[in-house]
Amino acid sequence: EYFKPERVYKRRIAQNKCYNCGFPVKDDYLHCPNCGAELKEKCKNCGALKPIHLQFCPYCGVRVEGMEEKG
């Protein structure tokens, strides 16, 4: 349970680590300096850069396409 990919992903994000490799990252990084994973993406509605793991844009509130609501 602890090592399920989804739990590892969430734990790394919460600890300011790259979701892909676990390397420490800062909030303003666009890509991981260790593995190159994309950490931010442009919102298709407002154009703001947002963390790729969010289901909704924190700037305009629009749901990100392709992300399912988890509950």
pTM for this structure? 0.72
CA–CA distances in Å: residue 23 to residues 19, 63, 70:
8, 28, 26
- Confidence at residue 71, expressed as pLDDT on a 0 to 100 scale: 40
Residue 42 identity: K
Nearest-angstrom CA–CA distance, 69 and 24: 27
Average pLDDT over residues 1-17: 85
With H, G, I as helix, E, B as strand and everything else as coil, classify residue 61: coil
Query: pLDDT digits over 26-61, tens only?
Result: 999 999 999 999 999 999 999 999 998 889 999 999
State yes or no: pLDDT of 67 exceeds 60. no
Are the beta carbons of 57 and 48 closer than 8 angstroms? Answer: yes
Q: Residue 17 — very low, low, confident or very high, per pLDDT cuts 50/70/90?
A: very high
Q: How far apart are CA 17 and CA 56, in angstroms?
A: 20
Domain boundaries, the chain: 5-51
